[in-house]
Amino acid sequence: MSGEKKYILCYTREPNEEQAYPPKLAYSMHLACSDDGYRYRELNRNSGVLFALATEAPNGSLRPKSLKNPYLFDLADGTFGVIAVCTEAGGEDDIESKGSVLLFKSADLLSYREIGLLDLKGDTYVRDAACEFDRANDRYVVRWSDGNGRFYRNSIEDLMDLSGASEPEEAEAFTVEGVSADIEGIAPRNSLPVPRDVADRLERKLTAPTNIRNEAPERVEAATDEQLRAVPATSFYSDGTTAEKPVDWDTTGIDWSRAGSYRITGKIRQPRSSFPMAVDRADPCIAKWKGKFYFIATNDADGNRSLSIREADTISGLATAEEVRILDTETYGHLKSFLWAPEFHAIGEDLYLFHAGSTGEFVNIQSHVAKLKKNGNPVVATDWEEPVRVVRRDGSPLFEAGITLDMTIIQWKGRVYAAWAQREFVPSDLGSWIYIAEIDPKEPWRLTTDPVLLSKPDYGWANNRTFVEEGPYALITDKKIFMTFAGALVDATYCVGILSADPEADLLDPASWTKGNYPLLTSRSVPGEYGPGHNSYVTDEDGFIWNVYHARNGIDGPRCAGLRRVHFDIDGYPVLDLTEEKDLKPELAEVSTVVVVNR
């Protein structure tokens, strides 16, 4: 049995300081793995993987929820179920969940579907619950207790029928034996034996990979330095993934005029970027235009009153490049404050600057687009046309009951889409939600379809201290269309979530997009970087994709721009927390090959 099974422990955590691990993060289901059922390794950096969804109030606002006392069990079809006590966001009794437990289903313990509240038909708050499938009677049995110390038992044939449970019967007391594990803040629950392949996959997905070796081809045929430079090495990682990387080959021993075999060595080339790349720069974006790289970001140093640009031949050169101001709040009468979240996007033969700005007050912030004049230079302020406010297809303002910001572009299969954050204030503050629409590629400030809601801050990690999802940005691969976004208050709990869609999907259909249950990047991801978020992506001259993001260099430090290579996991999903030390170990960077020169 030990060779066929591993053990997965589910648990919550004790909340601590508000900016470190508050209730909305602590009261979620966490996972740990064990080979023997005794010694457990935390997964996902001891962060939650399953959060309760918020419910919707009559005015459209969200009522955040949390969960306590999760219980993990096998479903009859070979998948997994979780029941948990649904609470208010801070862990208090939830009147909406009285007499019920929250039910989830998962095929792999990575992606979960919230089925809803399973009615146990009790007029009391559930304090603890467990569930098992009774194969002899082909029914599920739910055991639970209330706050008065009473214990009950329900049976149900179809667990997905949320109202199908029997009337509760008083039953003998039960306890869920929590497993002892040396994990920070753990409030342990039950452990479940699972197939080894399921547990191994969990560990590969929920543990940051490490570079374990690098290999170059044993033999290559080449006639010139240029041909040899195109020969990459392959980096291998602990999760079973690989990445091709360029090599700086030492060719001093090769005589290209004579046929023969030459053994040479080389060093894998991977640019490095220390954090922070730029202090007091948030919402950063890097774009390539006509052979050069350009960096732009929100300027926190002057209260968000100007936008400046850096130009360099390489991405690494942007760290020390001179900044040139191209827009400030004195330039135009309709942009007097809050110059936020600038992004460069090339559409066809033209370059555009998307950004937010206000006529004066916070409640007047709106998305704008400026076009670079024909043959213009991006670092010359006068070469940019006046920013235009984004409008709907009939020419009316994009949104007047609140603000719009963080507009970005997705170009796919000849069509151009805009995604942005929108916050309604009238008649009620609903928080920041993410929308998408198709736009006119010749006038990208004009929508050609109506806006479609993609995502709300319905998980605790996205509505911590405020209800915000913002900063969407697309990352397109041959497997998926990804859209990462930022959530929560812009403090140490700020984080990066993800939406994904299939390449053939209708991007304007919300059902085409799948939202991750947990964030990809948090303050727990990389030591010393707090509140990472509002990121973008750029591909360098070697084909590396870089995550351009901001984080704080201390829990209360300023927002700073940073860079880190994007890795891709066993399913092709982006890994954003692969640090330089794990990505390419210096002692493994040298590789060798035999070059065959034929003449």
Ranges of each domain in the chain: 5-205, 211-270+587-597, 278-583
User: Taking the domain 5-205, which CATH number applies?
Assistant: 2.115.10.20
pLDDT tens readout for residues 259-276: 999 999 999 998 888 899
- SS3 of 25, please? helix
- Per-position DSSP letters for 377-434, written without gaps between them: -TT-GGGBPPPEE-B-TTSSBS-SSEEEEEEEEEEETTEEEEEEEEEE-SSS--EEEE
- Report the pLDDT averaged over residues 356-375: 97
- Cβ burial of 324 (10 Å; 0-12, 13-18, 19+) is middle
CB-CB contact of 486 with 559 (8 Å)? no
Q: What is the DSSP letter of 478?
A: S
- Residue 596 has which token pair? 């065959």
pLDDT at 537 over 60: yes
Q: What is the DSSP letter of 52?
A: P
211-270+587-597 matches 5-205 in CATH topology: no
- Residue 226 has which token pair? 């240029």
Predicted local distance difference test score (pLDDT) of residue 271: 80
User: Taking the domain 211-270+587-597, which CATH number applies?
Assistant: 2.60.40
Strand order in the sheet with 495-501: 469-476, 481-487, 495-501, 514-515
Number of neighbours of residue 341 by Cβ within 10 angstroms: 28
Four-residue CA torsion sign, 290, 292, 297, 299: negative
Predicted local distance difference test score (pLDDT) of residue 276: 96
Predicted local distance difference test score (pLDDT) of residue 494: 97
High-pLDDT (> 90) share of the chain, %: 95
Q: What is the DSSP letter of 252?
A: T
Predicted local distance difference test score (pLDDT) of residue 3: 65
CB-CB contact of 469 with 478 (8 Å)? no
- Report the pLDDT averaged over residues 113-133: 96
pLDDT tens readout for residues 376-432: 999 999 999 999 999 999 999 999 999 999 999 999 999 999 999 999 999 999 999
Residue 283 annotated as catalytic: yes
Residue 581 annotated as catalytic: no
pLDDT at 364 over 70: yes
Going along 290-362, which residue ranges are E strands? 292-299, 306-312, 323-328, 337-347, 350-358
- Report the pLDDT averaged over residues 490-501: 97
Phi, psi of 180 (to 5 degrees): -75, 130
d(CA 49, CA 56) in angstroms, rounded, equals 22
Architecture of the domain whose range is 278-583? 5 Propeller (2.115)
- Report the pLDDT averaged over residues 115-135: 96
Q: What is the DSSP letter of 529?
A: -
Predicted local distance difference test score (pLDDT) of residue 2: 46
Mean residue pLDDT across the chain: 96
pLDDT at 110 over 90: yes
d(CA 401, CA 404) in angstroms, rounded, equals 10
Number of neighbours of residue 291 by Cβ within 10 angstroms: 7
Number of neighbours of residue 385 by Cβ within 10 angstroms: 14
- Report the pLDDT averaged over residues 203-222: 96
Predicted local distance difference test score (pLDDT) of residue 177: 80
- Report the pLDDT averaged over residues 59-66: 96
pLDDT class of 1 with cuts at 50, 70, 90? very low
Four-residue CA torsion sign, 205, 206, 212, 213: positive
Number of neighbours of residue 508 by Cβ within 10 angstroms: 16
pLDDT tens readout for residues 293-337: 999 999 999 999 999 999 999 999 999 999 999 999 999 999 999
- Residue 71 has which token pair? 């219980």
Catalytic residue among 114, 128, 283, 583: 283
First to last CA, the chain: 61
Catalytic residue among 128, 470, 529, 577: 470
- Residue 521 has which token pair? 């990047």
Residues in the chain: 599
Measure Cα distances from 25 to 30, 52, 203 in Å. Answer: 10, 11, 21
| Widest CA span in the chain | 91
